Amino acid sequence: MMEGSQDYVNFNITNSNNEDGTPVERRFKKDITVLEFKKKLELVTGGSAATMKLKLFDIKNKFVCDFDNDSALLSSYSIDDGMRVHVIDNFTLVKDFAATDSDERFQLSEEDYQKKGDTLRSYLQQNKLGKYNEEEMNKSKEQLQQELEEEAKLAASVVVGARCEVRAPQQPRRRATVRYNGPLDGARGVWIGVQYDKPLGKNDGQMNGKRYFTCPPNHGGFVKPVYVTVGDFPEEKLDVEDEI
């Protein structure tokens, strides 16, 4: 397990102002307050901490609770890796951006658009929000770089062909053999491809149309290095009750 990993939590962030609903994965310290958490989410959603409301869902997409106390620590809530935080933002300037501000920006020259004082860009610049908060952006980049370096160190000790046990949050432990170690197209960082002893996986070594290794159907999976423990794990035999 990565040193200090218990001090962080990985959330999937969705945003009420994002029409396609695609989640964004981000990592946060557990010892920050809800208000500090909201301020960090400004970088993800472009919204305002003062107006956003946060709802927590578990990995099965079941509602857990609202983050309703700005002074409370994240660790005071029932949080775990892989949960989803949905941001509802009543900041109308952001909400209307896709329909109005973006159209206007393309109709005007860049110089004329920059001169306008009632655009989303001008609001974010004046209030130092989102990408216009240089200090927060630098912190975010530094944190991301640190996370990727820690992940790479963990992955370096996971050798293809080694036996392992996968210990993902809110899932049973599963024994497997390491079949792949490296990047995935369209995904951040390093991933470990495994072939489970039992048909407890989601694929056969193929992800998004690209094959990374080959194994029987429903025996393959891709997980983060932090969830993989390499060791002399005997192979799990298929029980009679597991047979189809």
Give domain limits for the chain: 5-147, 163-242
φ, ψ for residue 40, nearest 5 deg: -70, -30
pLDDT digits (tens, 9 = 90+) for 157-186: 999 999 999 998 778 899 999 999 999 988
How far apart are the C-alpha atoms of 60 and 74, rounded to whole Å?
A: 20
Task: Answer yes or no: pTM beyond 0.75.
Answer: no
Q: What mean pLDDT comes out for the span 32-50?
A: 85
φ, ψ for residue 117, nearest 5 deg: -105, 0
Question: Tell me, what's the pLDDT at 18?
Answer: 65
| Whether the Cβ atoms of residue 3 and residue 43 lie closer than 8 Å to each other | no
Q: Given a cut of 50, is residue 222 above it in pLDDT?
A: yes
How far apart are the C-alpha atoms of 176 and 195, rounded to whole Å?
A: 5
| Whether the Cβ atoms of residue 28 and residue 56 lie closer than 8 Å to each other | no
User: If pLDDT is split at 50, 70 and 90, which confidence band does 97 have?
Assistant: very low
34-38, 67-71, 186-190, 222-226 — which is least confidently predicted? 186-190
Q: Given a cut of 50, is residue 4 above it in pLDDT?
A: no
pLDDT digits (tens, 9 = 90+) for 98-119: 444 444 444 445 555 555 555 5
CATH topology of domain 5-147: Ubiquitin-like (UB roll) (3.10.20)
What is the β-pairing status of strands 163-166 and 174-182?
Answer: antiparallel
CATH code of the domain occupying 163-242: 2.30.30.190
